[in-house]
Chain A
Amino acid sequence: MSVAEIQETEEGYAGHAAEERRRLEKTWAFSSGFFGWFMEVSHTALGRRYIATAMILFLLGGIEALLMRIQLARPENGFLDPDLYNEIFTTHGSTMMFLFAVPVFQGLAIYLVPLMLGTRNTAFPRLNALSYWLFVIGALLLYGGFFLNTGPDAGWFAYVPLSGPEYSPGKRVDVWAQMITFSELSSLAASVNIIATVFKHRAPGMSLNRIPLFVWAMLVTAVMVVFAMPAVMLASTLLAMDRLVDTHFFNIAEGGDPLLFQHLFWFFGHPEVYIIFIPALGVVSAITATFSRRQVFGYMAMVLSLVATGFIGFGLWVHHMFATGLPQLGQSFFTAASMMIAIPSGTQIFCWLATLWSGRLRLNTPLYFVFGFVAIFVLGGLTGIMLASVPLDLQVHDTFFVVAHLHYVLIGGAIFPLFGGLHFWFPKMTGRMLSERLGKLGFWLLFIGFNLTFFPMHKLGLEGMPRRVYTYLPETGWGDLNLLATAGGVVLGLGVLTFLINVAVSLRSGEVAGADPWEGETLEWAIPSPPPPYNFLHLPTVSGRSPLWENWEEQPVVTGVESHRREVLVTASLDAEPDHRDILPGPTIWPFVLALGVGVTFIVAIFTPWGVPIGAVPCAIALVAWFWPRGDMGRYELKEKS
């Protein structure tokens, strides 16, 4: 059956609509009540929750950043002692990388991908719930540790031997290692879910070359997660084993090697930064198209660039290790590879500029953030190219120059697009508009504050200021630029505060948004804001890249998907021809219980290896309960009952 063979039926849309809506509402209802909160499997509810949780962690990470900035404002400042400073910068980096930047985009993907694909949930709703709860446990572990004075203090990449049993006794690094395990398990679960959803749950007609660029970005990211995260899980697990059961993977005296840890970490760590950056590229494409009112220039070039970035991203890890003195030939290879990645990045920048050039711009806040992204990210990318050069990197490695680079690319490349995206999709998620006035004020505060904070750091790095120093001597002459950076940090904080106020005001009294306030391009704008629990009254079909801009009213809708159970349409992975109907599970507590089981396993394991067998019991029970048929015959055809 194909889109071409559409049957025009008599009674059609209007007659059924009310009846159908009532049934769908009943079938797909959000779970309610106290326990319901732990049983939720709806992707919009979990996606929103994911984003909100990650934003709270961003605020925590931001407050830590401000504390560091206060300490560094003056030479020999006594605001934080070295112990606390080390805990704070480690917690800041780990929070921002593992518990904010990755999860927030994962939340955005979980929320938006099914909407953009025109389906009712992700392929594995319960896996979504598991992923969310694991993420929460990871966050609670890190901050529980932090507030019990057991926060990790060996940096966000926790190099051995400093993080090993000999030089970091106590439980601090164990907290870090297990937090990594939770957050990576969570990302892996989310990514498998997104991959399956993108390949199997697209609206009929959405062949691969019609997938929105945002979804492409999320798909490439998810694939990168699958191949990158195992390395860091292994690194953190081996580290935990060295610490807890006396293995010797990194112990030089017994045949281990500290450099192995660095290879394992950065084999993940470099892809990690693109795992944060690529989703942001998807957001930029979505905003640029909508507010230029033009399809993004060069769809194929954009998709190929995303894929190329994903591939090349796995061949760069050694550029974080130039100072360890690896053989020269190898280093030149990694320099070349690192520089080559400027080609896909540049291509995308040029394509967006072309889109903006030819578009009819609507200068709303989201587009401002795209402008900010271009300005800041390009500068950060260019310093990245400098770092890729071995001789230059040997000078600025592990200095504030790198701190400047990483914030330019992370904040410019990912957080500006994120804020743009939040302004863009806020109406969809809440049904209310954000204030443009406050939005633009927030933008300028963030933009100016950002550059004030981080631009001076380039110079500090060249002048010899190493990173991760809790203080410095007055004679170094680093005081003034640091003071400037701190002042910038305050402006940056005001920008974040403005955003929070904007959100709070809008939630109480914002203008009602309606389904499609921006005249959007993709399917999420075809449904009410906020989306009803079943998303689409009738599952849509598409016949182009910009469904809402192309004769939407004439586009056929799918019928024949049962509404008395959670049925969705599964389509062929390449051309999205309808293939079969799948039945998704409803609310269930077991993902939450399983997450708790995993939590018990790894947290108890910090204290005794018996944690593993102890935790295995609840895990096994939860898994069996998860998969055991619930006997609700409505779901599947019965084959045999004995």
Chain B
Amino acid sequence: MIAAPSLAFLAQWTGRHSALDPAGPQAERIGDLWWLMFWISTGVFLAVLTALLAAILRRRREEEDAPGPIAPEARHRLTRVVAGAVGVTVVLLFVLLFASVGTGRALGSLSSRQALTIRLTGQQWWWSVEYQDPVPGRMVTTANEIHIPTGRPILVQLESRDVIHSFWVPNLHGKRDLIPGHKGEVWIQADRPGVYRGQCAEFCGHQHALMGLLVVAEPPEAFAAWLEAQRRPAAPPVTPAQKRGQKLVETLPCALCHTIQGTAASGKTGPDLTHLASRRTLAAGTLPNTPGHLAGWIVDPQSIKPGNHMPANTLQSEDLQALLAYLGSLK
């Protein structure tokens, strides 16, 4: 079972996780379109219901009850009413169509020449995040948490390593599929600093439900500092426990799947752990990143995310402590 999450975790998200609580220009435009559609639809719905109720409750003159065609005078009157209703429908549809196409245009207009480019790669059931940089050594790899500077358009390049996933952060923008073999991209921008939750939206197998991610929007300076910190290799171990922990990571199977920059661990099938301790969550937004949850995850990931691709590990208690000490130092 998933361990009960702490209150602190809850406090980490700003605002509601909702398409109707926009934090960027795109979600905002879509929000406006939603409200236009909502009110027009409500009007149409109420009008139809009123007509239905009126038809049911209408008092009828005691005319002949025999079944048959509608009387001609009534038919002429009704023809005009029905034609009018169809006419109104057509007009409303044009309003909605123009609003929709207009919003689509506006969404497409967000771009910038020197955009910050992030490559997001989906795989069962986590996200690999790579900050592009012309200098290869300055590229940054992390997982399940995207930091962006506020007020600036960001280009997110989307790829999938296995099946189709879909990148969706409702407070920022609509979703976009990650399709193997098809390179996709989407522009996002956050105007309000905050932590926005996103989740994979295309069914991708067992753990589709727990393939979350966080977008952390921070003021440009804070972002720059974060990026600089992420560029550094893993912090070298200091305490004996940490040293032992590093050894363990390199000798246990962990290294086959995970990368820790500056150590022998360079596997690619699991999330990059170089700065694991700087992240807010574990296992794609599933658990708060606390030592307790980390321990639980390492020992038995299958009961937390059944079917995920990390095997369980049987560890001596002191080995586990060493591992935690080391991983906890990877700020």
Residues of A near any B CB (own CB < 8 A): 76, 78, 81-83, 86, 154-155, 159, 161-162, 166-167, 252-253, 257-259, 293-295, 297-298, 301, 323-325, 328, 331-332, 335-336, 339-340, 342-343, 346-347, 349-351, 353-361, 363, 371, 374-375, 378-379, 382-383, 385-386, 388-399, 462-464, 466-477, 519, 521, 546, 549-550
Sample 14 A-B pairs with CB under 8 A, ordered by A number: A82-B306, A259-B179, A336-B97, A353-B51, A360-B65, A392-B37, A392-B174, A397-B174, A398-B166, A464-B19, A468-B209, A473-B5, A475-B9, A549-B66
Q: Do most interface residues of chain A lie in helix, strand or loop, or is the interface mixed?
A: helix
The chain A residue sitting closest to B308, CB to CB, is: A82
Given contacts A331-B104, A395-B19, contact A339 B93 (CB under 8 A): yes
Is the CB–CB distance between B175 and A397 below 8 Å? yes
List of B residues within 8 angstroms of A346 by Cβ: 85-86, 89
Is the CB–CB distance between B203 and A159 below 8 Å? yes
A304 to chain B, nearest CB (A): 12
A371 to chain B, nearest CB (A): 6
Bound together, the chains give a CA A109 to CA B200 distance in angstroms of 42
Is the CB–CB distance between A298 and B82 below 8 Å? yes
List of B residues within 8 angstroms of A294 by Cβ: 67-70
- A to B contact number (C-beta, < 8 Å): 260
The chain B residue sitting closest to A353, CB to CB, is: B51
List of A residues within 8 angstroms of B86 by Cβ: 343, 346-347, 350
Residues 64-80 of chain B, each 1 if its beta carbon lies under 8 Å from chain A, else 0: 01111111001100110
Given contacts A78-B1, A258-B179, A390-B104, contact A343 B70 (CB under 8 A): no
A354-B70, A474-B5 known; 7 new pairs, CB 8 Å cut-off, are A325-B177, A360-B60, A389-B100, A392-B30, A395-B30, A462-B19, A546-B69
Given contacts A297-B70, A335-B97, A389-B37, contact A83 B104 (CB under 8 A): no
Given contacts A353-B55, A378-B44, A464-B170, contact A395 B175 (CB under 8 A): yes
Residues 182-195 of chain B, each 1 if its beta carbon lies under 8 Å from chain A, else 0: 10100000000000
The 10 closest A-B pairs by CB, nearest first: A394-B174, A252-B181, A469-B209, A389-B100, A293-B67, A356-B55, A382-B41, A357-B55, A162-B163, A354-B78
Query: Which residue of A342, A374, A464, A468 contacts B18 across the interface (Cβ within 8 Å)?
Result: A464
Given contacts A83-B306, A159-B164, contact A394 B30 (CB under 8 A): yes
Is the CB–CB distance between B170 and A395 below 8 Å? yes
Is the CB–CB distance between A82 and B206 below 8 Å? yes
Is the CB–CB distance between A475 and B5 below 8 Å? yes
Bound together, the chains give a CA A351 to CA B51 distance in angstroms of 12
Bound together, the chains give a CA A210 to CA B249 distance in angstroms of 80
Is the CB–CB distance between B96 and A389 below 8 Å? yes
Q: Do most interface residues of chain B lie in helix, strand or loop, or is the interface mixed?
A: mixed
Is the CB–CB distance between B181 and A361 below 8 Å? no
Is the CB–CB distance between B74 and A259 below 8 Å? no
Given contacts A162-B164, A297-B75, A340-B93, contact A470 B179 (CB under 8 A): no
Is the CB–CB distance between A81 and B306 below 8 Å? yes
List of B residues within 8 angstroms of A521 by Cβ: 67
B231 interface hit (Cβ, 8 Å): no
List of B residues within 8 angstroms of A336 by Cβ: 97
List of B residues within 8 angstroms of A349 by Cβ: 48
List of A residues within 8 angstroms of B176 by Cβ: 323, 325, 394
Given contacts A82-B206, A82-B306, A477-B17, contact A378 B48 (CB under 8 A): yes
Interface size on B, residues (CB 8 A): 91
List of B residues within 8 angstroms of A464 by Cβ: 17-19, 168, 170, 197, 199
Bound together, the chains give a CA A110 to CA B86 distance in angstroms of 34
Bound together, the chains give a CA A464 to CA B200 distance in angstroms of 10
Query: Which residue of A293, A335, A386 contacts B101 across the interface (Cβ within 8 Å)?
Result: A335
Bound together, the chains give a CA A346 to CA B86 distance in angstroms of 7
Query: Which residue of B1, B78, B89, B166 contacts A323 across the interface (Cβ within 8 Å)?
Result: B166
Is the CB–CB distance between B67 and A463 below 8 Å? no
B15 to chain A, nearest CB (A): 11
Bound together, the chains give a CA A324 to CA B206 distance in angstroms of 22
Is the CB–CB distance between B205 and A257 below 8 Å? no
Query: Which residue of A86, A154, A375, A385 contacts B49 across the interface (Cβ within 8 Å)?
Result: A375
Residues 37-55 of chain B, each 1 if its beta carbon lies under 8 Å from chain A, else 0: 1000100110011011011
Kindly identify, within residues 69 to 126 of chain B, every residue whose CB is under 8 Å from any CB belonging to chain A. 69-71, 74-75, 78-79, 81-82, 85-86, 89-90, 93, 96-97, 99-101, 103-104, 107-108, 124
Is the CB–CB distance between A343 and B82 below 8 Å? no
Given contacts A462-B18, A469-B209, A477-B16, contact A393 B68 (CB under 8 A): no
Bound together, the chains give a CA A108 to CA B54 distance in angstroms of 32
Bound together, the chains give a CA A359 to CA B29 distance in angstroms of 46
Is the CB–CB distance between A343 and B90 below 8 Å? yes
Is the CB–CB distance between B52 and A343 below 8 Å? no
B80 to chain A, nearest CB (A): 10
Bound together, the chains give a CA A489 to CA B175 distance in angstroms of 29
The chain B residue sitting closest to A166, CB to CB, is: B162
Bound together, the chains give a CA A369 to CA B246 distance in angstroms of 68
